[in-house]
Structure 1
Amino acid sequence: MSVYAGLDTSLDAVAICVIAETGEMLWQGKVLGDPDAVTAALQRWRDDLVRVGLEAGATSEWIGGHLVDEGFPVVCLESRHVKAALGAMTVKTDRNDAQGIAQIVRTGWFKAVHLKSAAGQRLRTLTAARKAAVRAVTANEQVIRGLSRPLGLKIGAVTRVRFEARVRQLVGADRLLLGIFEPLLRMHRCLRENLADLHRLVLRAVRVDPICRRLMTMPGIGPVTALTYRATIDDPKRFRRSRSVGAYLGLTPRRYQSGEVDRIGRITKVGDSETRTALFEAANVILRPTTRWSSMKAWAMKIARRKGARRAKVALARRMAVTLHRMWVDEQDFRWSAA
């Protein structure tokens, strides 16, 4: 007998629903939000399970990865598809969501999401932590700038290293202002040190990773962008064609076609936003006048003259995503004459 299971995961608990191929419910319950507890609950149907479905989320890679290691046929479902499928429910509960997910995997009406490897998850955690540190430093500087502006203290354009010295120069010997800004400046110094520590971890990870070093042979691709791309793609073999990477990262235009209406809009912006942003920044670097000339840059410059710089940067970011995947699969460095 073919059996299907749906899991609705959360931090503390996992709702499970097991159904037969006819849609009949065989068992429904709730267990602790722990991979071992979920494995134990599904053990009795282990030989009959065709699919175990769970929605992509914060704990899906942890629980789903453990179930894959245990030999269960796990599929991770795209969250937008699950939301659309469960939207008709008048009562939303964890139990109902688990039952709905089980029905989705039974019918096959879903889009599977890649479960990252353990190594990929750790690299992703590193890049996300570094990005959070960058945002924390930026937020701290914005607070100091916002507090100093009404006082007529214009910090101006300064580097992150000289920021503290510039603020102290403007504050001078004013004791009250020193008492106000001193804690914020100490926080700024601490945040910069933590960011430097995380950046060193990024550089260390890139240094020992041959894939990242190969990706960095492309102009505009630095250690952070290479590691971000590496962690997002994880397994290049899951894409049959390199062109699919552009759509996966949300760098292809939307399209609405119905009857005589056929509209093409802006890019979809689905997928990982951090990787998409990193590639867009890399495209900016390539289009700078000081960047070495290549066939890829020549291609983007033609688009810029014809359709404008903004569209050229988006098109170049998409082409970079596709080319990086091809370099990874073919194990070849960037070719300046024929990108």
Structure 2
Amino acid sequence: MEYFAGLDVSMEETHICILDREGVLIREGKASSTPKAITAFLAAGPTCSKVVFETGRMAPMLFHGLTELGVPIVCIESRQAYQALKSLAGHKTDRNDARGLAHLARTGFYKPTHVKSLSAHAIRALIAARKKLVGQRVTIDNQIRGLVVVFGVRLPRALSPSFKDAALKISDGVPGLHAALRGLFAAREAILTAVAAIDGDIRVVTRRSEVCARLMTVPGVGPITALAFVAAIDDPTRFKRSRDVGPYLGLVPKRHQSGEVDYTG
């Protein structure tokens, strides 16, 4: 007899449901949302041939942790699971969601999704942190421009050395404006220091990566672009054809079909 399990994951607890091939409930309950706790709960029941759960914030940690512990875990897209669970479950509860996911595992009515490696997520975190800091720096630059334009001053490019000097020069003798600019520039300098540190880390990572070095031979591709592409692809073998990469990244070619005309552009 085959057995199947569904996991409805939250930050603290995971609801678990185990069904047999006929859909009969064998065991259900809760466990802490850690690979060891979930594995211990599953080990106390019959051996499951498939364990299904949805994508989410906890998915990378649980997927790779459970895989290392020998659990036949499968991750499915949450939007696909949502449509299926609407028809399988009645009230929207964690218990019913776990049971619905177990039914999906039993019927095979799902499409597995790739879970990126933890190293790829670490690279994405580095790039996301840089993007956030650069956005905050731009926000501060715009705030500074807005404060001094009242006094009829149009500042030069934000990253030029004269940007700070021109702003502070106009604020001399204006106590309120001078204090405001001093505070903004202090925050700006701290952000620029943090961005420079992250840029150094990115350069170190790209130097260690043979793939990044190869990508940077393409004109216009620098360390950030190369690293972002590598983190997005993660495992190239999951694509059957190279042309599948474009649609995966959202670059779908336009198509016009009418009668004998079939144009893909």
1:194-238 per-residue CA deviation (whole Å, 9 max, x = no partner) reads: 111111101100011111101111222210111111111111111
Matches within 5 A, 1:1-339: 1-45=1-45, 48-88=47-87, 89-159=89-159, 162-253=162-253
Task: Find the aligned partners of 2:245 and 2:57 in 1 and give their Cα distance.
Answer: 23
Asked if 1 retains the 8 angstrom alpha-carbon contact of 2:35 and 2:62, the reply is yes
What amino acid is the match of 2:71? F
Aligned residues: 260
Task: Find the aligned partners of 1:144 and 1:30 in 2 and give their Cα distance.
Answer: 53
Residue 16 and residue 146 in structure 1: after superposition, are their counterparts in 2 closer, same or farther (change >3 A)?
Answer: farther
Task: Find the aligned partners of 1:35 and 1:186 in 2 and give their Cα distance.
Answer: 44
Residue 195 and residue 99 in structure 1: after superposition, are their counterparts in 2 closer, same or farther (change >3 A)?
Answer: same
Q: Secondary structure at the match of 1:112?
A: coil
Q: Secondary structure at the match of 2:173?
A: coil
What amino acid is the match of 2:35? P
Deviation of 1:121 (Å) = 2.5
Deviation of 1:90 (Å) = 4.9
Structure 2 spans left out of the alignment, 5+ residues: none
Deviation of 1:69 (Å) = 0.7
Q: Which has the higher contact order (CA 8 A, sep 6+)?
A: 2
Task: Find the aligned partners of 2:30 and 2:160 in 1 and give their Cα distance.
Answer: 50
1:65-124 per-residue CA deviation (whole Å, 9 max, x = no partner) reads: 100111111111112211222234552122222222222222222221112223223222
1:257-284 per-residue CA deviation (whole Å, 9 max, x = no partner) reads: 9xx9xxx9xxxxxxxxxxxxxxxxxxxx
Structure 1 window deviating more from structure 2 (60-69 vs 240-249): it is 240-249
Asked if 2 retains the 8 angstrom alpha-carbon contact of 1:144 and 1:184, the reply is yes
Deviation of 1:193 (Å) = 0.4
If the length of structure 2 is used for normalisation, what is the TM-score? Answer: 0.88
Q: What is the Cα-based RMSD across aligned positions, in Å?
A: 2.6
Structure 1 window deviating more from structure 2 (73-82 vs 151-160): it is 151-160
Residue 201 and residue 6 in structure 1: after superposition, are their counterparts in 2 closer, same or farther (change >3 A)?
Answer: same
What amino acid is the match of 1:159? L
If the length of structure 1 is used for normalisation, what is the TM-score? Answer: 0.70
Q: Secondary structure at the match of 2:224?
A: helix
Deviation of 1:183 (Å) = 1.4
Q: Which has the larger radius of gyration?
A: 2
What amino acid is the match of 2:36? D
Residue 219 and residue 143 in structure 1: after superposition, are their counterparts in 2 closer, same or farther (change >3 A)?
Answer: same
Deviation of 1:151 (Å) = 4.8
Task: Find the aligned partners of 2:11 and 2:82 in 1 and give their Cα distance.
Answer: 19
Asked if 2 retains the 8 angstrom alpha-carbon contact of 1:31 and 1:37, the reply is yes
Residue 256 and residue 193 in structure 1: after superposition, are their counterparts in 2 closer, same or farther (change >3 A)?
Answer: same
What amino acid is the match of 2:22? T
Q: Secondary structure at the match of 2:44?
A: helix
Residue 165 and residue 74 in structure 1: after superposition, are their counterparts in 2 closer, same or farther (change >3 A)?
Answer: farther
Identity %: 36
Asked if 1 retains the 8 angstrom alpha-carbon contact of 2:134 and 2:195, the reply is yes
Residue 75 and residue 177 in structure 1: after superposition, are their counterparts in 2 closer, same or farther (change >3 A)?
Answer: same
